[in-house]
Amino acid sequence: MEKKEFAQKFANAFAQLGLNVIDDKTGKPLSEAEVAQLAEDNLVYTEHPRDYYEQLYRKKIKGWYSTKKDEDKAVKRMLKVRKEIITLLQSANRDGIENVIQYLDDRGFYYRASSPNGHHNFPGGLAEHSLGVYKYAKKAAKKYSLDEDSVKIAALLHDICKADRFWFEGRSIHKHHPKSNADKGHGSRSVMIIRNCGVSLSQQERRAIRWHMSDPNYNTEEETKDYYRAIKEDLRNVVNDSDHKDAADHPASHRKNQK
């Protein structure tokens, strides 16, 4: 449910019960619209109990690990990485970030692989990679005096477009829309998703995400200019470099047919 819609329902329910919300400053009851606005402004992301995610992740990666011990370890790690990423995103001072956090959960970001045949091709690989890129970028951020929130947003979300892209079936990783060439332009899809969640990006953040790959697929003159501008910017270069470094830490470890 949309945040606004939920806030309105909350305000309606209050009104129907004949309850008033008193304004602290004036001591007068707020109107239904004011209650809805107040609710909307203060709504925070609420999550399911930890058990819910644990069971969900187990179900989604069923058959990947040959022992229960390995599966337990992997699920535990996913939960840890999830918590860390959510805490970091929440600490970024950015409107709409709760929608991004919701999106990540809804699309299965924390149990997905980063790719079928490339780096981080194991359950939880995508989130681990995103956190890994952030950790490298954070180290470099000081050197270039980069804005902390920009680093969090650009590094943690550069591959958000993969949140619903790969799925597991036993020991195989499959790709949704295997015939599309969406992978090549995946930076632009990430930008689109973040914006659709209601988060505004600075031009540098947008370029860092859009052009985080080293093999850009610019098509128009405008895109070409944008790319050449991006590669002169520290934020983009830090994300690009961190992406490579973290990918190299976890090279492809598994190869199976994909659908």
Q: Which residues bind Fe ion (CB under 5 A)?
A: 159, 243
| Residue 98 vs 108, nearer CB to Fe ion | 108
CB of 114 to Fe ion, least distance (A): 7
> In the beta sheet, which residues pair with residue 167?
174
**CB-based contact 256:234 (threshold 8 Å):** no
| Burial bucket for residue 244 (CB in 10 Å: 0-12, 13-18, 19+) | middle
251: left (phi over 0), alpha (psi -120 to 50) or beta: beta
Q: In this structure, what token pair is assigned to residue 124? A: 């939880």
| Burial bucket for residue 200 (CB in 10 Å: 0-12, 13-18, 19+) | exposed
| Residue 105 vs 243, nearer CB to Fe ion | 243
Closest CA to 167 of 108, 226, 212, 117: 108
CB of 199 to Fe ion, least distance (A): 18
| Residue 32 vs 223, nearer CB to Fe ion | 223
| Residue 3 vs 82, nearer CB to Fe ion | 82
